[in-house]
Structure 1
Amino acid sequence: MHHTDIAIVGGGLAGSTAAAMLGRAGIPAILIDPHAVPRPDFRVEKLSGRQQLERFRRTGLAESVLRSATHDGENWIARYGVLLDRKPSEQFGVMYDTLVNAIRAEISPDIEVIHAKAAAIRTGAQRQKLTLSTGAEISARLVVLANGLNVGLRHMLGIERRIVSTCHSISLGFDMVPIGRTAFDFPALTYFSERSSDRIPYLTLFPVGTTMRANLFAYRGMDDPWLRQMRQAPEQTLNASLPGLRKLIGDFKVAGEMKIRPADLYVSVGYRQPGVVLVGDAFATSCPVTGTGTDKVFTDVSQLCNVHIPNWLSSDGMGEDKIAAFYDDPVKQECDAWSAAKAWNFRSVTIEDGAWWRAQRAARFAAGISAGMVRRLRNRLAAGSAAADRQTRPALGRPV
């Protein structure tokens, strides 16, 4: 029997981040995951945006972990074959297993890591008991379920999931290689859909090491013939779906394996129980189109480990009233609500043909053009000012 304060089930992004944070805080914890080395998985492949990176920094891990990622520095924004803007970028491309490995490297040696499956769970207001696939048992004050889409332990506790939207979106991941050139002209690119009938919100291209990685998103069913066409003739299908793309980036080919992943939106039901807390996808899924899943993970884990667990451990027991404080946390609730709203808004602005949504698409296109024009004007003015300053500056060593 292993005794600890916190038992974390699942060593993916959420679980490994929690283990690293608790180790830094000196809180006894055990991380349980069957895989000694994270397996490649088509999940997070990019960390981006000031808000998301700020949430990552709240975990205390960002600066060291991001050294394993590729920073592109500038992201081109385009639609209809027109380059709208060249935005300074805070994007970091990184494959999921590389990201999790980098986070695991930050886990303190004081955190015990057990490579096994959690086969059974029993919870209560004082201590919780986990039985592992090896037959070992763990007694903990709190169990953190960070095991993503795996529902076995949740079902044992009577926690169910309610599907809000089946196959809400589909994500496609593949590598892209330019033809006739050694590299693409852009550091990174986000290309938005041209027609609502294609049901594509956008294609994003970003570097991971020396590879240009592509994530393409679509609002279609898994039985849609378009997916088969993408597998069999990806270049032709992509050019037909985004006719202006090749005009902007030139000829290209799709290289390597194409990964396809559907995403259901679901929420958990019956999760307010003593002794156990759900984080990340174990609590509720998000739509990959919006890129908010990572925001939810970092928010869940940072609030849990920075705020709630230290408070809970300062007194006896782990009753439902304590656990409720996490689910009622206004920072968590705001992030969850924002993520859910964005999932539906992005879908509607992509595929709906009502006058309101057509106007929304036109307004976004106009806003993109305006932002690009303003940025180019500012850059020219700054360059002109710098040149004038150099001309009026005295030569080095010449007396004034």
Structure 2
Amino acid sequence: MSSSTTPNSAHIAIVGAGFCGALAAVVLARAGHRVTLIDRHSVYPKQFRVEKFAGGQIELMRKLGIFKAIAEASTPFKDIANVRAGRIVDRTPNQHYGILYEEIVRVVRAQLPSSVAFIIDDVTALKTGPQKQEVVLSSGQALSVDLVLLATGMNGALAHRLGIGQHMVAEGHSISFGFTIPAEPGLTFNALTCYGSGATNRIDYLSLFPIGDTLRANLFTYLDQRDPWIRELRRNPSTSLGDSMPGLAAYLRPYDPVDGVQNWTMNLMTAASVSQDGIVLIGDAYQTSCPATGMGVTRLLNDVDRLCNVHIPRWLTTPGMAKEKIARFYDDPVKQDVDTQAIRMAHFRRSLITDRSLQWRFRRQEHFMRRRFLDLVHRVRFKDTSGSRARS
């Protein structure tokens, strides 16, 4: 039976074939829907976006049926040393996976069922209504579909034409940097997180982790875009970071990057006036996240899960795709909880790093002291447990 004749199915157009859009296409096509995936890039270009995943993100990937393929293309690592001012705060024993964003997209696209029509083109216009939607391509082709998913990231041009706006939560909230260094023999860690020492340099943390036979460096900051230190970082990240992060030199020898320093300025935004007939925004198209929190991937996976596995099947029990149906996705309590947590964590991390008030100075100290205490308790319990097993 073809997907077009599967009971309770729909013809769904997905605009944007990055991680979010391609994953939604995989999930929907596997469920029997007729999917048309549209993107201007046949091979996704290099972008500095998500480069590692762990924890609950792994479980969501398993639920969506994509974890095995992504994990096989990734570099697994765990036992991360977390350092501040030259001292180990604690160690993270959980399993992590490192993989470049363009590689994630390649792997997910490779999972697309053969039933998916993948069109390499630009969408120039959208016409939406309670029953049918029209997607117009630059080639002049027009598609008639039941539902449109916008997975266009922070490019809000198409949504804007439909009257969907953007609410700026925090402009220039953070700047992230990424570069690659050789994984030289003799380094004293598998993966390292080095935290900034205070509010003066506005550095949150540097994360070093393996991808293949190299180390990937992700630096998360709350710098102003005009800060001259950014230029110095681009010229010589080894010296700039060594001078700005006391104690880093004890764990990382001087290095020369094997590529240029990439950066990403994040504006925290949420979409406005989204309850419209026939169109749904998912991932960064609906709300952006601070990269330092790691919530961007969690939000993306949660959006795909709730929309594709919960709401679209419910919507198809009755005719049409009116805005009253679409609103149920945005009002979903699970989605709202994750979205709210992402914004809350973004504000918390920025204040924790940059706020010089007495209240936040105390919270900074308390935050890292609590982590050291919990790590000590964990190691004592682990030692006692290991000793008991050995004696028995």
Shift, 1:80, TM fit = 0.9
Contact 2:188 2:251 in 1 (8 A): no
For 1:53, which of 53, 58, 65 is the aligned residue?
58
Note closer, same or farther for the CA distance 1:88–1:13 as it changes in structure 2 (3 Å cut): same
Aligned to 1:43: 49
Structure 1 stretches lacking a partner, 5+ long = 390-400
Q: Give the TM-score normalised by the residue count of structure 2.
A: 0.94
Q: Distance in 1 between matches of 2:18 and 2:287?
A: 15
- Whether 2:133 is the aligned partner of 1:158: answer no
Q: Residue type matched to 1:280 in 2? A: G
SS of structure 2 residue aligned to 1:332: helix
1:316-356 deviation digits (Å, cap 9, x = unpaired):
11101110110100010000000000000000000111121
Contact 1:83 1:248 in 2 (8 A): no
SS of structure 2 residue aligned to 1:255: coil
SS of structure 1 residue aligned to 2:88: strand
RMSD value over aligned CA atoms?
Answer: 1.6
- Whether 2:374 is the aligned partner of 1:371: answer yes
- Whether 2:368 is the aligned partner of 1:333: answer no
Aligned to 1:394: none
Count of aligned pairs between the two proteins: 384
Aligned to 2:237: 234
1:54-98 deviation digits (Å, cap 9, x = unpaired):
233332212232211111022111111011222212211000011
Q: Which stretch has the larger CA shift, 362-371 or 95-104?
A: 362-371
- Whether 2:101 is the aligned partner of 1:96: answer yes
Aligned to 2:361: 358
> Which residues in structure 2 correspond to 1:209-220 (within 5 Å)?
209-220=212-223
> Which residues in structure 2 correspond to 1:118-137 (within 5 Å)?
118-137=123-142
- Whether 2:41 is the aligned partner of 1:73: answer no
For 2:252, which of 249, 253, 256 is the aligned residue?
249
SS of structure 2 residue aligned to 1:197: coil
Contact 2:175 2:266 in 1 (8 A): yes
Q: Distance in 2 between matches of 1:250 and 1:211?
A: 14
For 1:10, which of 9, 16, 25 is the aligned residue?
16
Q: Distance in 2 between matches of 1:7 and 1:249?
A: 48
> Which residues in structure 2 correspond to 1:195-210 (within 5 Å)?
195-210=198-213
Structure 2 stretches lacking a partner, 5+ long = 5-9
Q: Which stretch has the larger CA shift, 372-381 or 228-237?
A: 372-381
- Whether 2:191 is the aligned partner of 1:191: answer no
Q: Distance in 2 between matches of 1:231 and 1:159?
A: 37
SS of structure 2 residue aligned to 1:256: coil
1:148-167 deviation digits (Å, cap 9, x = unpaired):
12222112101111222111
Q: Residue type matched to 2:23 in 1? A: T
Shift, 1:174, TM fit = 0.7
Shift, 1:112, TM fit = 1.2
Of the two, which has the highest radius of gyration? 1
Contact 1:127 1:140 in 2 (8 A): yes
1:90-122 deviation digits (Å, cap 9, x = unpaired):
211000011111111111111111111111110
> Which residues in structure 2 correspond to 1:16-35 (within 5 Å)?
16-35=22-41
Aligned to 1:398: none
Q: Residue type matched to 2:212 in 1? A: G
1:170-213 deviation digits (Å, cap 9, x = unpaired):
000011346xx524221111111112101011111111111110
Shift, 1:376, TM fit = 2.6
Q: Give the TM-score normalised by the residue count of structure 1.
A: 0.92
Q: Residue type matched to 1:175 in 2? A: T
